[in-house]
């Protein structure tokens, strides 16, 4: 496990589902231009891992505008969920424009309380989502519920620096969490219980290793 995941929890600025909806209502029209490039390699690395893992039923949590959807292998059946109707509208357009046949559904749904039956998916992947949701532990619990035993849960996220200039930037941005729509000072302990931290595998992904691709077996 990477040292960057060994952190003490920090107090988190309050953010609820409505704050997330409001933030991404503003971001939807420009999200691809602002964030598409910086997260491209991390998304592709995560999807490449999904494509190598066993099972075909995949849940993409926080599918957003669908930036990752073109990269899944054709034999994967992709279901995407997102809290933002505006972001999902962009995802629907991407699927239609690119004729992505293996996307079976896109739902407006709360990642912390989905409507899926237990053990519905082989893989659940959440890219740039854990630092967005109001209750990351609830997100993990819900992903664990809908993934079949022995299946995989994957996360791509930036985890807060321990010190240095980036630490000051993250802490300075933390009070703006509601406006930004994510927590700049997000820590692994906010998502994973101590017993999970001993079981995860984590690897740095581009650009510059600022994101981690984390895998946890259900």
CA count, 13 A, side-chain hemisphere, 118: 3
Per the CB < 8 A criterion, the answer to whether 46 and 156 are in contact is yes
Hey, what are 91's tokens?
């995802």
The SS3 call for residue 70 is helix
Domain boundaries 3-217, corresponding CATH code? 3.40.50.150
Q: How many other CB atoms are there within 10 angstroms of residue 163's CB atom?
A: 7
pLDDT by residue, tens only, the chain of 218 residues: 444 444 444 444 445 667 666 666 665 667 677 777 788 999 999 999 999 999 999 999 999 999 999 999 999 999 999 999 999 999 999 999 999 999 999 999 999 999 999 999 999 999 999 988 889 999 999 999 999 999 999 999 988 645 444 433 334 333 333 443 444 568 899 999 999 999 999 999 987 778 899 999 99
């Amino acid at each position: 496990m990477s040292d960057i995941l060994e952190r003490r929890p920090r107090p988190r600025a309050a953010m609820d589902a409505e704050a997330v909806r409001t933030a991404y209502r503003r971001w939807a029209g420009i999200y691809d231009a602002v964030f598409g490039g910086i997260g491209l390699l991390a998304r592709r690395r995560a999807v490449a891992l999904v494509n190598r893992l066993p099972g075909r039923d995949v849940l993409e949590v926080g599918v957003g505008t669908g930036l990752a959807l073109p990269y899944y292998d054709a034999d994967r059946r992709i279901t995407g969920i997102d809290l933002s109707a505006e972001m999902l509208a962009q995802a629907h357009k991407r699927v239609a424009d690119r004729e992505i046949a293996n996307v079976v559904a896109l739902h407006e749904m709360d990642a912390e309380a989905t409507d899926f039956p237990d053990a519905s998916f082989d893989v659940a992947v959440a890219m740039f989502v854990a630092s967005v949701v109001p209750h990351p532990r609830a997100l993990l619990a819900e992903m664990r519920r809908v993934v079949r035993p022995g299946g995989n849960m994957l996360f791509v996220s930036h985890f807060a620096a321990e010190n240095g200039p980036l630490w000051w930037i993250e802490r300075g941005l933390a009070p703006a969490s509601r406006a930004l729509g994510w927590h700049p000072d997000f820590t692994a302990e906010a998502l994973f219980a101590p017993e999970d931290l001993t079981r995860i595998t984590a690897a740095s992904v581009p650009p510059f290793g600022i994101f981690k691709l984390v895998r946890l077996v259900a």
